[in-house]
Structure 1
């Protein structure tokens, strides 16, 4: 099986594919005029605006759900894997894909808001919805929905649960079966409670886990602050093949950095677009900007925390393409959570294994919550106007089963299957947003124009020439009628 999985990954993540993805992200960055820099202050301001409603969640709750998906095992195990096979230079390419990926996140999340619908008294949206309504390709929308369900409910949960099981076993010696049962019980309690319970859990867990993890990394960095220039230099020299030790694997540095960066921040994959559509906002660009900032939180903050802990302490191995070791400081330890555990243990003896296991549990568990919500949204798309009770129940039981199975799987196979799920959904969504970018760009321009006029932007799709944004057409009509009636009363 691993032979076929490796073959598929070789196609989905070939060098030419990596460069195409980088090029598309760079194109969006240019077309949005580097919004990730220009609107950084606005992104932070918007995080705390807006309130939840009966049908939707607040901007911060939508961000928390998106971060639940973005901040996962990729931030700990994924960074370690990138360094193991791409060297320290892979970290630079993770930063690069994060920076340009913020523009992709804006495009897909704004499109999700523009073409969202109110279905069963909930806001629903994402790639399947904007592909059908924006491009008019229903067959392609159905293909994305089916692919997303398979990827997020079958192929990718195992990566998260596998990393939890390995971390817990390393730290506490707990059998993976016990860990798997515990995860399934807790996850079942959350997902059977619906979007509101997922949102409420995410907005509490995500900030707590991210801040705690970053705090520990800052302590380790502070204890090795004199080595900061050398580590930064090593990352940049390795990224461009200028380091004598890592110069021969520059291609691997780019490939693993981009692949693991995309796995972690999910920009362009379309997953972050699903919770973005659920937000209650007055203009689609608002949530697009919030979701763009979530990519920064994931990669520039949390992934960097892991990378610096590993590189500052030297607790890592790096393999060359022929399987020989360029660096072999952790003999017998597989690439993954063990690198980070060893890094923290080297500075805080006896603390690292347990802390990383707990961090991994929260990171990966919230990602499993997000996976379920995204898969549920695609089930909702496929069953519109039909009884969705049985498909939703099957989804719940299916993701619980694959999550449990993942705890007993080999780590390498779990990651390889996850890469296939990621690769297919990325490609389908990148094709869609490349074709459909214009409405998002028009929305950004409209938002900026209204802000310059000192207004709290509202969205009128008809005035902007955007078709099939049915929810927003009705919303603008209601707002206009309300304003007129209020003036008459006054």
Structure 2
């Protein structure tokens, strides 16, 4: 076991330690410039999907909005509550600025990877499947099948297995600390809820997210706005502190600007997942008129996750008097919880527990679907999906009732680092194709077409599934 831990520790150091974060930042900036700052030029169009539930004639299909909310539910999790608190404690208020910066860059990366997932999606039964593994096979060819399999294995190990154990642990811990509920009861409830949702397939998963995510997001943002209104006169001071710390003009922790940047970039990337290749698996399920339209929509999920939800946590903490810069061994959930209590009273800790429960349920079903999608890429045996469902339910229960057991999932972060590297390499090789379909989308907009339509006949050299993208008549 020690040998394995050392091996995955080295992998983690080689990815998250020094290579991956600069890679994500540089590539995100490259995508931003070459695509013509798509995250800003298309910002208004991102909100169209929230008003138009379906962009195609098939009302039984998963809509762009449902796919968006499912990906938001996956990106928004305990990290938005606990992770932001830890980043601020270790990196100071300046970490928040760098979280915002990486989110704006990540919006372009998300558009690229999710548009490609849409382009190369396949129609399987009455649903669509796609993601980096299928984009690699159909975009780069059979010679890269090994790379697609490597990605799929890492996706299952990190998200479906490892991160779901941590989600169960987070919910059970919060329920025990604030409500005194035994971990066994919380674990059992989580297992039952998870089983009911995932055995309904992707459509039930999407429908559940369509209900849960707006409730949890609006509720949490409303609570944060209440805190901001109570402390409205302090907002200029807090924003000034965030900017000053970000550039080292005013140090809150040792290391100054470097520490603030490292913590902010790392937390932002972990939270919004732009470039990690996870969200494209969900983006591909939507039935939309053009691949770029869903890419634009998925950019909004990065904005919601970091600019909106993470900022809410940051302001709750920075407007309070509980936060101590540079504190060692900080429990992020406790810091956020105590900060909220200091603003509006003890009852708010129960609200936060409920928010964590909803955040975690949405993340669990998202993580499970990523694993299922990767598994169906590697095997068409339906029994394998049932085995995965059974394993995920069991792991969630184990993570909830035996918090120490989550230590065996030390491989999660290193495996996520590998899949991110694989995904980014694939994006670089497929970027010329992305530019072609982006030009097609912009050309139709320039011609006055409000909702551009994708016609595979215009791209005869690409391996496109004509059942997923039917040619125009």
TM range (shorter): over 0.9
The Cα of 1:100 is off from its aligned counterpart by 0.4
The Cα of 1:14 is off from its aligned counterpart by 1.8
The Cα of 1:466 is off from its aligned counterpart by 5.0
Q: How does 1:117-132 map to 2 (within 5 A)?
A: 117-132=122-137
CA distance in 2, matches of 1:461, 1:286: 15
Contact 1:69 1:366 in 2 (8 A): yes
CA distance in 2, matches of 1:411, 1:316: 30
Which of 432, 437, 459 is equivalent to 2:454? Answer: 459
Please give the per-residue CA displacement for 1:318-372, whole angstroms capped at 9, x wherever unaligned: 43xxxxx4xx8xxxx8322111110110012212321111101101110100111
Equivalent in the alignment of 1:65: 70
Contact 1:238 1:247 in 2 (8 A): no
Which of 405, 408, 431 is equivalent to 1:437? Answer: 431
Residues 402, 249 of structure 1: CA spacing in aligned structure 2 closer, same or farther, 3 A cutoff? Answer: farther
Q: How does 1:251-330 map to 2 (within 5 A)?
A: 251-319=258-326, 325=327
How many residue pairs are counted as aligned between the two chains?
A: 464
Equivalent in the alignment of 1:399: 392
SS in 1 for 2:47: helix
Equivalent in the alignment of 1:133: 138
Equivalent in the alignment of 1:26: 29
Once the two structures are overlaid, the 10-residue window that deviates more, 113-122 or 362-371, is 113-122
The Cα of 1:139 is off from its aligned counterpart by 1.1
Equivalent in the alignment of 1:365: 361
Contact 2:252 2:325 in 1 (8 A): no
Equivalent in the alignment of 1:149: 156
SS in 2 for 1:440: helix
Residues 310, 357 of structure 1: CA spacing in aligned structure 2 closer, same or farther, 3 A cutoff? Answer: same
Contact 2:281 2:370 in 1 (8 A): yes
* RMSD of aligned alpha carbons: 2.2
Equivalent in the alignment of 1:77: 82
CA distance in 1, matches of 2:263, 2:467: 40
Provide the TM-score with structure 2 as the length reference: 0.93
Contact 2:160 2:369 in 1 (8 A): no
Which of 9, 17, 37 is equivalent to 2:20? Answer: 17
Please give the per-residue CA displacement for 1:192-251, whole angstroms capped at 9, x wherever unaligned: 111111111100110111000000000101111111111112112222222133362433
Which of 185, 200, 205 is equivalent to 2:212? Answer: 205
Contact 2:128 2:285 in 1 (8 A): yes
The Cα of 1:54 is off from its aligned counterpart by 7.5
CA distance in 2, matches of 1:402, 1:457: 44
Residues 473, 182 of structure 1: CA spacing in aligned structure 2 closer, same or farther, 3 A cutoff? Answer: closer
Residues 127, 460 of structure 1: CA spacing in aligned structure 2 closer, same or farther, 3 A cutoff? Answer: same
Q: How does 1:335-346 map to 2 (within 5 A)?
A: 335-346=331-342
CA distance in 2, matches of 1:102, 1:167: 31
Contact 1:158 1:418 in 2 (8 A): no
CA distance in 1, matches of 2:41, 2:147: 34
Equivalent in the alignment of 2:166: 159
Please give the per-residue CA displacement for 1:397-437, whole angstroms capped at 9, x wherever unaligned: 11112222222325994896543343222222111112111
CA distance in 2, matches of 1:282, 1:460: 9
**Which structure 2 segments of 5+ residues have no match?**
none
SS in 2 for 1:143: helix
Which of 157, 172, 176 is equivalent to 2:179? Answer: 172
Equivalent in the alignment of 1:322: none
The Cα of 1:46 is off from its aligned counterpart by 3.2
Contact 2:93 2:252 in 1 (8 A): no
Please give the per-residue CA displacement for 1:167-186, whole angstroms capped at 9, x wherever unaligned: 11221011222211111111
Contact 2:281 2:373 in 1 (8 A): yes
**Which structure 1 segments of 5+ residues have no match?**
320-324, 481-490
SS in 2 for 1:76: helix
Residues 69, 118 of structure 1: CA spacing in aligned structure 2 closer, same or farther, 3 A cutoff? Answer: same
Residues 410, 305 of structure 1: CA spacing in aligned structure 2 closer, same or farther, 3 A cutoff? Answer: farther
Provide the TM-score with structure 1 as the length reference: 0.90
Please give the per-residue CA displacement for 1:239-286, whole angstroms capped at 9, x wherever unaligned: 222213336243332222222212211111111111111111111111
Once the two structures are overlaid, the 10-residue window that deviates more, 252-261 or 17-26, is 252-261
